[in-house]
């Protein structure tokens, strides 16, 4: 048997790649288009809860691409709400990429930075197709790792006139606003409550870290014609939110319709979001087989739970850039 090597990109390597906003969005959009054309295999995420007394679990995501990406992947990423008390990120994990033709491992990539980037890219691509083109005000709840990339990549596409952010802890939201203001080169307002953050915003993103479901985001605060993007693990929206929507879009219906977590779990269980009421998966819109926003007065909901395919597509782009720049580590497998 010939020797088998795999490429390892740790967190420092991923940072050294210095992927541009455009590179991140392009990679993830390529994956979404392939999903929309049914050129992929995706299975709903699974959850591993090792200790019921601890506020945390592992997400296991699986998927595969045909050529030209030609990779299968499994990502294991933790979700531990109280990790900040230990100075740790809430989400830590790894992505394993393998050859779908023979099962040989190809690469291991830090999953934490990758998850943050690909989540922000899916939020931004959703807004590209579903928000008003003249959207100028962003209201964002949540300050975890994915939140930074939500705001950064959304602003890359829309160049907002006003950005408002909120999170439960004042030190968290103030630091988040300061980091964004520095990196984006524009003022970012940290608000003291949910209402002042999201009311009247053109794009509303809910990425909160609730310990249990609670209707923190009120339907009455949503501006007609807005895009609302909720993706917290625990629901923070009212049941009535889906009642005001002209269109409802998800990243993958197979995983959105099942499982114990997700911001619209109750809406699925009560039939408010179903095959009958769902407009499209985002990949179908990106691929051109379904419509995105068609009128300025449409109020649209986009719920994404996170795609293994986005992880794999972005991991593929990272590997290609790493090869060009000579970044990473070559590990002997066999």
Same domain as 97, residue 229: no
Specify the length of the chain in residues: 334
Q: Are residues 231 and 296 in the same domain?
A: yes
Q: What is the rounded CA–CA span in Å between residue 309 and residue 318?
A: 14
Looking at the fold, whether 215 and 326 belong to one and the same domain comes out as no
Which CATH number is 284's domain given? 3.40.50.720
Rama region for 185: left / alpha / beta (φ>0; ψ in -120 to 50; rest): left
Same domain, 127 and 194: yes
Token look-up 């968290």 returns: 172
Per-residue pLDDT 10s for the chain (334 aa) are 889 999 999 999 999 999 999 999 999 999 999 999 999 999 888 889 898 888 888 999 999 999 899 999 999 999 887 888 888 888 899 999 999 999 999 999 999 999 999 999 999 999 999 999 999 999 999 998 899 999 999 999 999 999 999 999 999 999 999 999 999 999 999 999 999 999 999 999 999 877 778 888 999 999 999 999 998 777 889 999 999 999 999 999 988 887 777 788 889 999 999 999 999 999 999 999 999 999 999 999 999 988 999 999 999 999 999 999 999 999 999 9
Number of domains in the chain: 2
Residues 100 and 130 in one domain: no
Regarding whether 324 and 282 lie in a shared domain, the answer is no
User: Do residues 136 and 186 touch, judged by C-beta distance below 8 A?
Assistant: no
What is the domain range of residue 280? Answer: 121-306
User: Is 243 found in the same domain as 192?
Assistant: yes
**CATH number, domain containing residue 75:** 3.30.1780.10
- Rounded CA-CA distance 263/206 in Å is 9
Other beta carbons less than 10 A from residue 109's beta carbon: 30
Same domain for 163 and 213, yes or no, is yes
Q: Is 135 helix (H, G, I), strand (E, B) or coil?
A: coil
On whether both 20 and 52 belong to a single domain, the answer is yes
Same-domain check for residues 197 and 93: no
Domain identity same for 295 and 217: yes
Question: Are 106 and 173 within one domain?
Answer: no
């Amino acid at each position: 048997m010939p020797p088998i090597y795999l490429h390892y990109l740790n967190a420092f390597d991923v940072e050294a790649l210095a992927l541009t906003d455009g590179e991140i969005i392009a990679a993830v959009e390529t994956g979404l288009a392939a999903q929309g054309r049914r050129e992929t295999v995706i299975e709903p995420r699974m959850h591993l809860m090792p200790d019921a007394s601890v506020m945390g679990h592992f997400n296991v995501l699986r998927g595969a691409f045909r050529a030209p990406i030609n990779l299968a992947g499994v990502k294991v990423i933790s979700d531990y709400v109280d990790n900040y008390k230990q100075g740790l990120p809430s989400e830590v994990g790894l992505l394993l990429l393998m050859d779908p033709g023979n099962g040989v491992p190809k690469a291991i990539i830090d999953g934490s930075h990758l998850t943050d980037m690909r989540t922000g890219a899916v939020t931004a691509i959703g807004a590209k197709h579903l928000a008003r083109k003249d959207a100028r005000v962003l209201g964002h709840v949540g300050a975890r790792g994915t939140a930074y990339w939500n705001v950064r990549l959304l602003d890359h596409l829309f160049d907002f006139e006003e950005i408002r952010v909120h999170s439960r802890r004042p030190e968290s939201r103030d630091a988040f606003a300061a980091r964004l203001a520095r990196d984006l080169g524009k003022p970012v307002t940290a608000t003291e409550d949910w209402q002042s953050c999201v009311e009247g915003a053109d794009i509303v993103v809910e990425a909160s870290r609730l310990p249990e479901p609670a209707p923190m985001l009120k339907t009455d605060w949503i501006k007609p014609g807005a895009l609302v993007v909720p993706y917290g693990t625990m629901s923070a929206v009212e049941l009535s939110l889906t009642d005001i929507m002209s269109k409802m879009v998800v990243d993958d219906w197979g995983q959105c319709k099942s499982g114990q977590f997700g911001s619209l779990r109750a809406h699925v269980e009560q039939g408010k979001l179903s095959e009958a009421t769902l407009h499209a998966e985002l990949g179908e819109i990106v691929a051109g087989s379904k419509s995105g926003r068609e009128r300025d007065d449409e109020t649209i909901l986009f719920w994404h739970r996170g795609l293994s395919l986005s992880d794999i597509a972005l991991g593929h782009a990272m590997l290609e850039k790493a090869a060009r720049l000579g970044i990473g580590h070559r590990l002997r497998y066999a």
